[in-house]
Structure 1
Amino acid sequence: MSTTSRRYAALAGITAAAVAIGIAEPVAVLTGPRSAPLVAVGGVVVDAVPESLKQLAIDLFGTADKIALLVGTGLLLGGFAALFGVLAVRRLAFGLAGIAAFGVIGVAAALTRSGADAADALPSLVGAGLGGLVLWLFIAGPFELDPWPWSPPTPIVPPAASVPPAGPVPPAAPVSPAGPALGSRAEPPSAASPTPEGLPVPVTPAEPVSPAGPVTPAAPVAPGGQSATGAAEVDPESRRRFLTSSGVLLGTALAAGLGGRWLAGRRGVSAARDAIRLPAPVAPAAAVPAGADLSLAQLAPYVTSNLGFYRIDTALVVPQVDPDSWRLRIHGRVGTERTYTYADLLARPLVERYVTLACVSNEVGGDLIGNARWLGVPLRELLDEVEPDADADQVVGRSVDGWTCGTPTAALRDGRDALLAVGMNGEPLPVEHGFPVRMVVPGLYGYVSACKWVTELELTRFADFDAYWVPRGWSVQGPIKTQSRIDTPRGRNRLTTGPVTIAGVAWAQHRGIRQVEVRVDDGEWQQAELAPAVSVDTWVQWSWRWDATPGEHRLQVRATDATGETQTERTQDVVPDGATGWHTVTVTVR
C-alpha cells in the first residue's frame, strides 16, 4: 500500500472517529457532561494513571493539565482511528471492530463513574454506531473512491504480438505465365515495366521490418481505471467527492461537539448562582491591614482574585450542582445522622475569614497557592450536632463526582476556622471552585481537606478507610509545611547596578510566619521586613533591599514559623506530603 493510499484510509478512519466523538456531545447534554466518551475515558485515565505521570502533567501544564489530558486523549484516539481506517480497507470488519471496541470502552468508563446510571451509556453507543456507519460509507458505501488507490491490482495479460513463425522457408510460388515466379532471383518489375497489356503499373516497395522486432501494442486498460501494470487511475471526480464528504463530516462533527459543550454550559448552574444573594456574616473577616499588600510588580497580591485562584482537582468537566437540589449528608460513626439543604446553611449564622489554601503538588517556588476571603458555616458546629463517636478520628469529605479526602476530625474541632464555605471574596462560590458548597480548612493541604462540590461528610477512622490520594502514594495526613518564595526579581531577570527590592511571600498556615531571611551568593542571611497580615491562617508578603553589584548572582530565601521551626534546606519532591527546600533564583546585574 502506497503512502497516498494510507493517507486516504487514515482520513476515513479519523473522520469516523470525529463523528463518533462529536455527535456524542449533544447526546451527553441529556445524560450529563460526564457521560461524554472523551470525558468518561479521561476520568478513568486520571484515576488509573501512575502518580508520577500525574505530577509530571501538573509540572508541565499547571492548571491547564485537564485540557492537556483531553487533547492528548483525543490525539491518541485519532491515531488509533487512522489505524482502523487502514485495516478497514483490508477488511471492513477489522475497522468496524475497532470502532465497536472504543464504544465498549466509552460505555464501561461512563458506567463506572460515581453516580452513573444506564442512561450514561447512551452517548458512547450513539457515537460508536454513527462512527461505524461513516466508516462503512467510506469503505464500501457511496462515499468510497472509484477505484480506491489501494485496491489490489487486477492482473491483465496483454495479447501476444503477431510474429511470423520460425521454420523453413516456404516453397517457391508457381511461376506466372506473365513472368518469373514470385521470389525468384530475377529482378522485380520496376514501375516502368510493362504489363501484358503493355501499360506500366506502380509497384509499392516492400515495407522493411524493424530489426528490433514487431511493435508491441498499447496495454489495454482494465475496468475501473487500472492499467495492465496495476497502477490505479483514480477518477478526479471520485476523489473530489471523497474529500468533500470527509470535509463536510469533519465540520459537522466539530460543530456538534462545540454545540454540545455550549448547550451543556447553558444547562449549567450559572443562572442559579447569579440569582443567589448571600446573607451578611455575623462575624465578618478582619480588615486587611494597611501595608499588607506591597503592590510591587511581579509580587502576588495579598488577596487572590477568584479568576486568578489556582484550580487543581480530578474533575475533567466542572460538576454542575443545582443549589435547590443539593444536600449534605453527615453520617457514619455519629450519634445522630443529619441532612442539610443549601437553604439550611444560608439560614445559619455565617462567619467570614481570610484563609490561604495550598496544593500539595506545589513545587518550591510554585504558584499553586492563593489567599481568599471565605464565607461559610463553622464545621465544628455541624459536627457537634451529629455527635461523633469518640474513635471517629477521620471525616471523609465526598464530592458529587465521588472524589474523597480524609480530614483529621481533631483539625475540624480544635478551634481553627474550618468552614463549610458558600462564598468566596464576597460572592457565591465560583462553579469551578466548588459551587454550591466546599470545605476550607486552614493549615492542611487541599488533598486532605479542600473537598469541592461536597455532598457527604462521613465520620470514620483512618484505620478503616483510605481517601482518594492515599492509595496513590500520598501521606494519610498533610499539614502544610513552612515555605517561602521569591516573586521579584524573577529568575534570569536582568537588573541594573544599585538598590534592588527583593520581595515575595511566605506561609505556614495556622502557625504563622515569624521571620524571613534572604541571602546572596551563599553569603550571610539577611532579615527581610515582614508586611502585616490578617491572621496566622494567611500568607505574608516580605521585602529586602539589596545593593546589587555587576555580575550573575544567586538569591535564596527561607522562612521561620511562629513555633521557631525554620524551613529545611533539604530538597524533597512533592510526593508524599509536600515539597521542601529553599527557593533559589539567578539574576544578572549590569
Structure 2
Amino acid sequence: MQRNSVAPAWAGALAGLVSGGVALGVAQLVAAFVGPETFPVVAVGDVTVDLSPAPVKEFAISAFGENDKTVLIGGVLVVLAAVAALIGVLALRRLAYGFAGLAAFGVIGAVAVLTRPGAGVLDLLPTLVGVAAGAWALSWLVRRATPDAGADAGGDAEASSSAAGAAVERPAVMRAGDDLRAFDRRRLLTGAAGGVVVAGAAAVLGRQLGGRQVVDAARVGVALPKPVTPAKPVPAGADLRINGLSSFITKNHDFYRVDTALIVPQVDPRDWKLRIHGMVDRPVELTYADLLAMPLTEADVTLTCVSNEVGGEYVGNARWLGARMAEVLRKAGLQSGADMLLSTSADGFTCGTPVDVVMDGRDALFAIAMNGEALPVEHGFPVRQVVPGLYGYVSATKWVVDLKVTRFDQDEAYWTPRGWAAKGPIKTQSRIDVPKSGASLKPGRTTIAGVAWAQHTGVDAVEVRVDGGEWRQARPAEVPGPDTWRQWSIDWDAAPGRHTIQVRATDAAGRTQTEQEAPPAPDGATGWHTITVQVAQA
C-alpha cells in the first residue's frame, strides 16, 4: 500500500539537495584517485562543450570570456541542484522514485565519462560510488524526516518514532485508511547538517588529492636549462610605456586563456611522455628529461586566438623556451606526402598544424617555459606547442602528449568538423588601447595608442584616422622580430564633441588589413577597430 507523508515539500527538496551534494562530494573524492577528468560533472560539461553548436561556443566566449568554463560548470550544478530537489520531493512519496531518479542521472554521468578519449571501465567508479552514496544518504534522510516510514525505507519505525519524542509533528487529523506518516523536522535538519559536512569534506579532500599539489610542487622544482639559442634582446624602444597601453611582454597571470579544458589537466612531468608516430621513419617517444636535454631555443612570440573579435583581448606576447619542433620531427624522419601534425592534449583535445609551417625555419617550439619560469599549469605545463603565425586552435596545443604525422585529407582535428577552417594563418590586425571606447576626454593634445600584429610576417606600418578623415601614420615602436605584436602611438588635437577613431595596419609584405567586417568563424575576424569618444567643451 502506498503511504502518504505529511512532510512538506521543502523537506523533500532539502533531502534531495543534501543527497545530491553527498553524491558529488564522494564522486569527486573517488575521482581524485581515478583521474580528475572522471568526475561526472566535468564529464557532462565536456560533452556539453563537444555537442554545442559553433554559434553557442562563440556566444559563450564573447559573453563570458575566460569565465565561460566557470559559467558552464555553474549551469550544470544549478540543473543538478534543481533535479536533486525534485528527486527528494518524489522520494517522500515513494523512495523508489528517488532511487530511480538517481539511477537516471548516474546513467547520464556514466555515458558522459565513457565518451572521453581513452575512457575505460575503471573511469565509471566515481559515478557509481557517488550514486550509491547519494542513494544511501537519501534513504537515511527520508527515514529521519518520516520516522514511521519503515515499510518503504526499511527502517525500524517504532524505534524511530519513540526516539523522536515530543519533536515529532503529528497531523491534526488521521483519516482512516490514509496511513499518514509523521514529520520530524529536528531529525531531518540535524541529518541534513551531517550530510552537508560529509559532502563538503569529501569535495575538499578530493580537490586536495586531485594531483594539483603534486604537479604544483613538481613545477616549482623544475630547473630550467639555459637556451642554446637565446632570444634577441628586446629593443629599448619596444615598450612605449604609455598608461593603459598593453605592455610589450604580457605577464603570465594576465595572458589570455581559451581552451576546452573544464578542469585544468594535472600532468606530472615525471610521467609525461610525447609520442611521435604516423608517417615517420622512426617513431619517437620523449620524456620530459629528454626534452630538457635537447638544445633549447628562446623566442618572443605573440599568440592569438581565432575567437578574438576585432579589438578583442585574446592576444598576448610572451618569451617562450623550448625545443624546436622541426628538430624533433627530423629525428623521427618525415615521410613524403605528410602535410599535417595532429597533436593531442592530455585531456583529449586535438589540433591540426600544417607541416610546412613548422619546418620553414620559424621558432615553432615544444615549449617548457613562459617568461622565465616553467609553464603555468593553466598554460600547458609541462609542455605545450607554440607556432608563430597560426591561430591557437591549429597550433598551440597545451599539455601535449601525442603527435601524429598525417595528412589533412586523412584526419580532422577537434574544431574542423565544427565549422572552423582546417588551416588558420593569422590575419593582420590592430587595436586601439588608449583611449578606451566611450571615454570622456579633455580637449587638446591627446595620445592615441595601441598594438598591431601580423605573425610571422611582421607589422610595417599603422595608420589612424578620426571621423572618416585622412589616414595619418602612427609612430611604430621597435620590435625584435616579425613574430611579436608592435606598439604604436600618435598625437591628436582633440576638439569638443563626439568623435570616431579607427586604426588599420599594413604588414611587411605590403598587405593592408581589410575594412570588410567578418566574424571570427571560420578563420578569424576582419575589419578596422573603431571606437567613439566624447571630448568635453573647453
Do these two structures clear the TM 0.5 threshold for a shared fold by scoring above it? yes
Shifted more, 309-318 versus 81-90: the winner is: 81-90
Deviation at 1:405, TM superposition (A): 0.5
SS in 2 for 1:295: coil
Distance in 2 separating the partners of 1:492 and 1:4: 57
Aligned residue in 1 for 2:405: 459
Trace 1:386-535 onto structure 2 (pairs within 5 A): 386-535=332-481
- Amino acid corresponding to residue 116 of structure 1 in structure 2: A
| Secondary structure class of the residue paired with 2:322 | strand
Aligned to 1:546: 492
- Root-mean-square deviation over aligned CA pairs: 2.3
TM-score by length of 2: 0.91
Q: For residues 235-250 of structure 1, what are the structure 2 equivalents within 5 Å? A: 238-250=184-196
**How far off is 1:118 after superposition?**
2.5
Question: Where does structure 1 differ by over 6 angstroms across 4 or more consecutive aligned residues?
Answer: 1-4, 228-236
Closer, same or farther in 2 for the Cα pair 1:516/1:146, shift >3 Å?
A: farther
**What's the offset of the Cα at 1:146?**
7.6
* Aligned-pair CA distance for 1:239: 1.5
Moved more, 63-72 or 502-511: 63-72
Aligned to 2:25: 22
8 Å CA contact 2:146–2:181 kept in 1: the answer is no
Pick the aligned partner of 2:247 from 289, 301, 309.
301
1:282 aligns with 2:228: yes
Cα distance per residue 1:491-533 (max 9 Å; x no partner): 1111111111111100000111111111112222111110111
Distance in 1 (alpha carbons) for counterparts of 2:514 and 2:354 = 25
The superposition leaves residues 251-270 of structure 1 with CA deviations (integer Å, 9 ceiling, x where unpaired) of 43123213321232455311
Paired with 1:145 and 1:240, the residues of 2 have a C-alpha distance of 11
For 1:313 and 1:434, locate their aligned partners in 2 and report how far apart those are by CA, in whole Å: 10
- Contact 1:145–1:239 under 8 Å retained in 2: no
Q: 1:124 aligns with which of 123, 127, 140?
A: 127
Q: 1:95-142, CA deviations, whole angstroms, 9 ceiling, x for partnerless residues?
A: 211111111222222233223332221111111011111222233x12
Are positions 1:101 and 2:104 aligned together?
Answer: yes
The counterpart of 2:65, out of the listed 62, 65, 70, is 62
State how far apart, in whole Å, the 2-side matches of 1:6 and 1:559 are: 63
Judging changes above 3 Å, is the alpha-carbon distance between structure 1 residues 462 and 104 closer, same or farther for their aligned structure 2 residues? Answer: same
* Structure 2 letter corresponding to 1:144: T
Tell me the CA shift for residue 88 of structure 1.
Answer: 2.2
Secondary structure (helix, strand or coil) at the match of 1:142 reads helix
Q: 1:13 aligns with which of 16, 26, 38?
A: 16
Among 489, 502, 506, the residue aligned to 1:556 = 502
Instruction: State the alpha-carbon separation in 1 of the partners of residues 390 and 86 from structure 2.
Output: 48
* Cα deviations by residue, 1:441-460 (Å, 9 ceiling, x for unpaired): 00000100101111111111
Going from structure 1 to structure 2, the CA distance change for 1:376 and 1:227 (only over 3 Å counts) comes to: same
CA deviation string 1:275-306 (max 9, x = no partner): 11111111110111112111122211100111
8 Å CA contact 1:137–1:144 kept in 2: the answer is: no
Query: Following the alignment from structure 1 to structure 2, what is the Cα–Cα distance between the partners of residues 31 and 326?
Result: 17
Tell me the secondary structure at the aligned position of residue 556 of structure 1: strand
Q: Offset of 1:484 from its aligned partner? A: 0.6
1:489 to 1:336, Cα distance in 2 relative to 1, 3 A: same
1:216 corresponding residue in structure 2: none
Deviation at 1:389, TM superposition (A): 1.5
Q: Please say if residues 484 and 559 of structure 1, whose CA atoms lie closer than 8 Å, have aligned partners that are also in contact.
A: yes
Matches within 5 A, 1:153-172: none
How far off its partner does 1:233 sit?
12
In 2 relative to 1, CA 548–249 (structure 1 residues): closer, same or farther, beyond 3 Å? same
Aligned residues: 513
The Cα offsets for residues 285-339 of structure 1, whole Å up to 9 and x where unpaired, read as 0111112111122211100111111111111111111212211111111122111
1:349, distance to aligned residue in structure 2 (A): 0.9
**Take 2:295 and 2:384, find their aligned partners in 1: how far apart are those partners?**
17
Q: Secondary structure at the match of 1:287?
A: coil
Matched residue, 2:145: 143
Tell whether the 8 Å contact from 1:226 to 1:233 is kept in structure 2 after alignment: no
Q: Which runs of 5+ in 1 are unaligned?
A: 148-222
Aligned residue type for 2:535 = V
- Output the amino acid matched with 1:537: D
Corresponding residue SS for 1:364: coil
Q: Which amino acid aligns with 2:425?
A: P
What secondary structure does 1:307 align onto?
A: helix
Whose Rg is larger? 1
Contact 1:226 1:232 (C-alpha < 8 Å) held by counterparts: no
Any conservation in 1 of the 2:300–2:320 contact (CA below 8 Å)?
yes
What residue in structure 2 maps to residue 355 of structure 1?
301
**Percent identity over paired residues:** 54
Q: Following the alignment from structure 1 to structure 2, what is the Cα–Cα distance between the partners of residues 500 and 5?
A: 66
Instruction: Give the distance between the partners of 1:227 and 1:71, measured in 2 at CA.
Output: 44
Q: What one-letter code is carried by the residue in structure 1 that aligns with 2:475?
A: E
Residue number among 535, 549, 571 corresponding to 2:517 in the alignment: 571
Give the structure-1-normalised TM-score.
Answer: 0.83
Residue 253 of structure 1 aligns to which amino acid in structure 2?
Answer: A
Maintained 8 Å contact 1:145/1:242: no
Measure how far apart 1:86 and its partner are: 2.4
CA deviation vs aligned residue, 1:168-200 (integer Å, no higher than 9, x gap): xxxxxxxxxxxxxxxxxxxxxxxxxxxxxxxxx
Cα deviation digits, residues 373-406 of structure 1 (max 9, x gap): 1111111111112221211111111112221111
Check whether the contact 1:330–1:386 (CA below 8 A) recurs between aligned residues. yes
**Closer, same or farther: CA 13–482 of 1 in aligned 2, 3 Å:** same
Q: Counterpart of 1:404 in structure 2: which amino acid?
A: T
C-alpha distance in 1, partners of 2:476/2:533? 23
Q: Name the structure with the higher helix share.
A: 2
Q: Which residue number in structure 1 is paired with residue 279 of structure 2?
A: 333
